[in-house]
Structures are given as C-alpha cells and as structure tokens.
Amino acid sequence: MQMTPRQILDKLVSFPTVSRDSNLPLVDWVEEFLDSHGITAHRVWNADRTKASLYALAGPEVEGGIILSGHSDVVPVDGQDWTGDPWTVCEREQRLYGRGCADMKGFVALALAGMAQAAKDNLARPLILALSHDEELGCIAAPAMIEEIQRSLPTAAAVVVGEPTMLVPVLAHKGSYGFQVHVRGHEVHSSRMHKGVSAIMLAARLIDWANRMNAQSAVDAVASDFDPPWTTLHVGTIAGGTAENITARDCRFGLSMRVMPTDDPQVWIRRIRDEAARLEAEARNVHPDASITITATHHVPPLLPQPANAAEALMRRVLGANDGGMVSYGTEAGQFQLAGFPAIVCGPGDIAQAHQADEYISMEQFDRGWSMVQQLVATLRG
C-alpha cells in the first residue's frame, strides 16, 4: 500500500467515525496499511468490543523512541450546513475540506505515512503510533491504551500529540471534568405550578449559577497566556419535560468544567455540589420527590509545563521554535504526562476549524506537518 499522505487522508476521512458509532472499519484499514509495511499493530478494545484503540512500533524495539499520538473519532455533522460531502476530502483554494481534516485525521495521515517511512529506514530508535478512540467524549480510551504501551513496548523518550496547533508547540493546557446532571421534579398542571417542582426551571437555576460563576471568575482573573485565563463552566446539552402545561418531572444536562492549572478542581467540584444541594433543599420544601443528582463522566488531566521536558526540547529542535503556547482545550497529552511520558501538543491545522461545518486544513499546514514528521523520523536514525 504505497500511498502519499494526501491519499491516506482521503481514506481516513471516508470513514464516518463519529464517536457514537464504531471505529472498527477505520481500525481494520489502518491495520492492513501497517501490515503492508511489515508493521504489527495491537488493538486495545472497549468493553463491548465495538471500538478499539491501536498502537504499533516501527524500527528496533529499544528505548528512546517517539510516540505520535492521535485519535480516530470525530464529532457529528448533524445540523451543520456543509457545502459538500463531509466524508469526502474536497480541495479548493489551497484547503482540504472534510470532517476530521483538522481534528485530527490530518495528523493521523501524516503519522501513518511516517510509520511507513520509518519501517524502511535503518532507525536506531523506534517510531510508535498511538491511535485512540472516544477522545471527543472526554479522552475516555487513552488511559487503557497508554497502559498497554507501557506494558508492551520499550519506554519512549517523547510523545507528540498532534492536535491542531498551527505547528506551534503547546506546553500546557487546562484540565477538564464532565458531569451529567439529572434534575427530578414533581408533575402538576402548570396552572398549579406552585404545588409542583419544574425540573427544567430548577435546572435553569443551577445553569444560571454557572453563568454567574463564569462572570465572577472573569472579573477575578489574573493575566495568563491561557485564553480565557480563568476556569470555565459550560452546559452543552439539555433535555427534559413532556408538555407545555405540565411542570417537568425530569431534566438532564451535561455540565463541563475547564480548570486552570493554578486552581484546585476539587474546590470547584465542591462549589457545584454545594449549590446543587442548596437548590435541592429548597425544592424539597415544595415536594420531597425533588432531587438533583450529579454523576461524573470523565476527567482529562491538565498538561503542565515541566523543566527539562524532552518532548519540548525535541520539537524546538525540529521546528526551530523558540516560543511555546498554552491552550484552554484538553488533549491526551495530559494523560501521557500523568503516566510519566514527556509530552507536548503540536500538530498542523487550526483548532478554530475543529467541530465546524466545512472543517478544513490548509495545504500549507498539511505540507509543513509532513515535513515535521519526516524530520522526527530523521532524528531516530542517528
């Protein structure tokens, strides 16, 4: 399977690996591609074996290699106004359009091309591919994959997580926490709403509290390279109620938190739970069935700046970069760092294009990203 990086990208985008669906057709193809270059891939299954992460090594089985880390899943295209087919790469105006081109099948395509090159080179240290699933759901699958890599492969010297950073090394990012909130009310006719508890209106009070906390955090913020330089609370989905004239019995919403590395996340979690308990107590004065239940769904650790970070030193040499950035989104780099790997985030494309209709990566960024991967392979030769 002799393919250019662009041809690999075309193939990867053709798999509609939305997180809610299986990624196995893509994993099957990646395994076939790697096998055609003499590279053995290893799967790390989810619980019901409907999805798998994948890792593979090209070169000698010795310590000191480089891990190229990416994820196979993408966000949905539902309700977005795409100009063309999101599952077919379209080239126009020096841009490559398609779901995942920026986040992050563009980098995965380059990593696979790099693995093929590494397999035929006489490397002194290995190039390792780490391809996860369910990153978009909160970096759920990466820890099990990282554990398998630690158990099965020689220790790598650096991890490059290729999320889109415009090829600027990112040295730190926020951590994130996710929660599902279930608000239970008591149904009555809405003309007698004072005798019932509307789960929707009670949920709205907790959401309004989150808005007020965001506003206060912005006022109290200290200057930082993070944008924004404060911990944020966000509600992205909500559902509930049965009819306009019935106080809602149930309301469910997702609450996420992106925490500044200087903040204690447990303090924020206590604030959320304390406010929920206060509102619940008020609602139970109306009816004892009222409740607010908060269930943790995921935790993505922050990526913290570290002195003598081998991954940072590597990328500065390869890119000739003196500056490094900080970002507010989370990545699997924090999970690699927590496991003891020197890690950095650096990849082609602009995060502003991620999750958008007509998502794209510029051809200039894609080509520069390929040069970066080739230079990383070259560092493994000597």
Same domain, yes or no: 217 and 281: yes
Place of tokens 């496991």: 339
Same domain, yes or no: 228 and 252: yes
Residue 9: per-residue pLDDT: 98
Residue 107 CA to residue 244 CA, distance in Å, equals 48
Same domain, yes or no: 11 and 128: yes
Asked which of 269, 300, 331 is the last residue of a domain, the reply is: 300
Q: What is the CATH number of the domain that holds 125?
A: 3.40.630.10
How many domains does the structure of the chain reveal? 2
What digits encode the pLDDT tens for the residues 202-246?
A: 999 999 999 999 999 999 999 888 999 999 999 999 999 999 999
Beta bridge partners of 186: 197
Same domain, yes or no: 64 and 162: yes
Residue 57 CA to residue 377 CA, distance in Å, equals 13
pTM for the full model?
A: 0.89
Residue 185 CA to residue 241 CA, distance in Å, equals 10
Token readout for 332 is 């699997």
Same domain, yes or no: 296 and 306: no
The active-site residue, picked from 10, 73, 332, 359, is: 73
Same domain, yes or no: 226 and 322: no
**Beta strands 170-173 and 325-327: pairing type?**
parallel
DSSP 230-293: S-EEEEEEEEE-S-TTB--SEEEEEEEEEE-TTS-HHHHHHHHHHHHHHHHHHHHTT-TT-EEE
Same domain, yes or no: 147 and 289: no
Asked which of 282, 300, 318 is the last residue of a domain, the reply is: 300
Same domain, yes or no: 191 and 267: yes
The residues of the chain scoring below 50 in pLDDT are none
What digits encode the pLDDT tens for the residues 148-158?
A: 999 999 999 99
What is the domain extent for residue 287? 175-300
Q: Cβ(291)–Cβ(137) under 8 Å?
A: no
The dihedrals phi and psi of 197, each to the nearest 5 degrees, come to: -130, 120
Q: What is the DSSP letter of 38?
A: T
Residue 104: per-residue pLDDT: 97
Residue 1: per-residue pLDDT: 83
Residue 324: per-residue pLDDT: 81
- Catalytic residue status for 227: no
Same domain, yes or no: 154 and 219: no
Q: What is the DSSP letter of 23?
A: -
The active-site residue, picked from 134, 135, 312, 359, is: 135
Q: What is the CATH number of the domain that holds 221?
A: 3.30.70.360
Same domain, yes or no: 226 and 132: no
Token readout for 118 is 């590494």
Same domain, yes or no: 118 and 221: no
- Catalytic residue status for 163: no
Residue 12: per-residue pLDDT: 98
Token readout for 319 is 């890119």
Residue 261: per-residue pLDDT: 87
Same domain, yes or no: 257 and 332: no
The dihedrals phi and psi of 278, each to the nearest 5 degrees, come to: -65, -45
Residue 294: per-residue pLDDT: 98
Asked which of 284, 300, 316 is the last residue of a domain, the reply is: 300
Distances (CA, A) of 33 to 12, 113, 119, 122, 328: 11, 10, 12, 20, 34
